[in-house]
Structure 1
Amino acid sequence: MRELRLFFGEIWRTIMFFGIGYGLMMLTVALTFRFVRVPLGNLLYALFLGWVVLIAFLASEFRIRRRFYREACARMDNPSSLTSADTFLAAGTAEQRFFVDLLHRTHDAYRRELGEVTEQKQFYELFTTRFAHQMKTPLTVVQLLEQEMLSAYPSCVALAEFLDSLSEERVRLETTLGIMLGAARLHSFSFDSRMEEIDLVELVRSVVNAHKREWVRRGIYPKITVDQQPVIVRSDRKWLQFVIDQIVCNALQYGRMERTIENGMPSSTFLMQFKSNANNTVLSFTDQGIGIPPRDLPHVFEPFFTGSNGRSHSRATGMGLYLVKEILDRLGHKICIDSTEGQGTTVTVTISRSDYLSAADSLRK
């Protein structure tokens, strides 16, 4: 029926003009019949021949065009075939052959343009990745120089303050490079992930310990609570570590109100809680910081969104939480954020015990 609709949608003008011409012919015969006596049987026979010719014409045209319609409909019903290199359609008429030739030329031009874009994208990813890796070397040297200068002049307060500011900027640059590298690698995620059994508590502790100086500098006390040990999950260690590091960096940046440290003790707490059951493992990060305004909360996972907090903190890139959400979606994990402005924020990551491949497949669909 679909092929017939396509056919009559294309041939209806021929039928219309045939009907008009046939009607004019019959009108001429009727007017002539007033003066010349013509047997009624002859008129009916002429009418019958006209319809036979029309039906034969339509049947012949439909037979010629039908295969083209069938193959075109099959490709429309299967979207994946539209990107295939096999774009040939069986053309029965000159118009269809012209259309197929135009389709081939358009497809070839599209493939050439796509190849150029793909090549540029690969070059960009390669350049970004190598640039980020090369920048890590001088940052490591800067860190070593900081330690040497602190060891050489332990009593110099001015130098200690200077090195503290330098260390803060170095950490900021390292975080930015990590986001850049994560964004570049994300495009090749399916070729750069390995699922394995991970001790989640040990992984979180390693990330927290990597920021020892930042916790002290910002007056935040990280606290880990576990209902049972060990907490074993199945995920990709490198990507999950990146996710946890981004959440921790956000806590360091926004997880403390502007208040001083009292009696040498941190003025704020960053709580990491682990809860496990038969179905999943829930890891929550709770800070006592500035919080997120209600109007910004629905948009925190959008790329380059910084919100009012980001505008007041020039270090915000708007890419950290976007990458976190993308990575967790690809891993088959879930994330949600609850926040009260002026009181703090809770980020919850849920890692299901379901099979990773089924989760990833459902995401791609």
Structure 2
Amino acid sequence: MVSNHYKFFFILSIGFYYLIDKTEESIRPRYMETIEESLNDTSHVLSAVVEEKIKTNPNQRYQFKSLVENLFRNPFQNVRNRTFEAKIYSLLKTNADIQMYITDANGIVIFDSERFREGLDYSKYNDVYLTLRGKYGVRSSKMFETEKEGALFIASPIRFRNEIIGVLTVIKPKIGVIPFIEEAKAKFWRISLIVASSIAIVFSILAYISFRPIIRLSQYVTSLRNKDKKPFPKLGIKELNDLGKEVDQLVMELEGKKYVESYVQTLTHEIKSPLSSILASAELIETHPKETKRLTSTIEAEAKRIQNLIDQLLELSSLEGKNSLQLEDTVFLIPLIEEVLNRFAIELERKSLQVKRIFPNIPIQIKGNQNYLRMAIENILRNSIEFSNVNDTITIKLDLHENGMMNLSFMDQGHSIPDYALTKVTEKFFSLPRPSNLRKSSGLGLSIVKEILDLHQAQLHIWNVKPKGVEVSIRFQNF
């Protein structure tokens, strides 16, 4: 079994290397696409400047060459003579290397920021050829034979009264972009090696700690399947011991097999979305260093979402497996509510929420399971906080009815539940987006509440209140 896991690790390593290698190959085209997008905007801005100049004096169309000469010669001369120090990430840029030329409607260069193209026929070059025909003009080629990388040429039309009278091409030598690409590749590989090394170390530790107990557990399960009675092995890990005992019970209770399979399938389905988000964020960190903080926050949030989903699903599974519950605790509801409120003090303060308590002056007690009731109240209060607006008031009311019933209600002033969702909010995995971040929860909170209340022979009611907000009511009979 251990050798199979190492084979899996070896195959995973090859796949990881292939993924990293292909991602590294995509860095250059992604950079070039970014440069092209910026040059396209620049080209259109400059051509718009020429068009506006002609609009102010249409006669200048006939002095097109002198017009663009007057517009751009001095600015380009000025920028060529200008020096600066711009530290862009780890690289220092000291001069501007952007170029530009303009052709007339026949593709003849009438202005060149570098002067050597003026008078040449560029009508056959793609940037000019395509633009004159109303298409997107772009090409990548060498400006000189001695160049290795060449340049990117992005063109835009110059129009006068819906007629193309010229083409403005902006040029970016690739040699100015290459240092950024190489730096990005180097950083990408450094981070990839760190990640790969971390994965290898973690895998080795987990293999050492986990595989031997797992082998023992696997052998024990095999013996159960073969009806070969053996004592439960010492696994040395509490979680695996617990898991082994659950497996033992599962084998003896074959009728629960389909039930467990259903939960495994549901858990797998629900984890796919946050896991995909984690993987996507991890990949984007390498190519979008500016977004590292946001992406790592996304990874952390999605990991917590998976952990919360697993915890709640296990809790719900445990509750659904109970046909009845020994209601042996004497639960004083008011102190229990205050205890839960203290736990949520930070969340309440963060949103500046006020809690209005409407409690009777006498102690209220019921027979039940205090831990489960605390869990139910926590889930309800958490929903009230998450769907409340800043500075809202949450009202908690506890009252007795003449018919021997007792009612505990939580009312917020936040967002109402859509009509179609009122009958679904207690269903497993049904969730509405939170107003603060539009993200959904695990969809298990109210399902757990319903299971707990069913075990306490209590009723759960949820409805919208006017003008806005939701009221969740628990009606107890056993008090």
Tell me which interval the TM-score lies in, with the shorter structure as reference length.
Answer: 0.3 to 0.5
More helix by share: 1
Q: Which has the higher contact order (CA 8 A, sep 6+)?
A: 1
TM-score normalised over the length of structure 1: 0.46
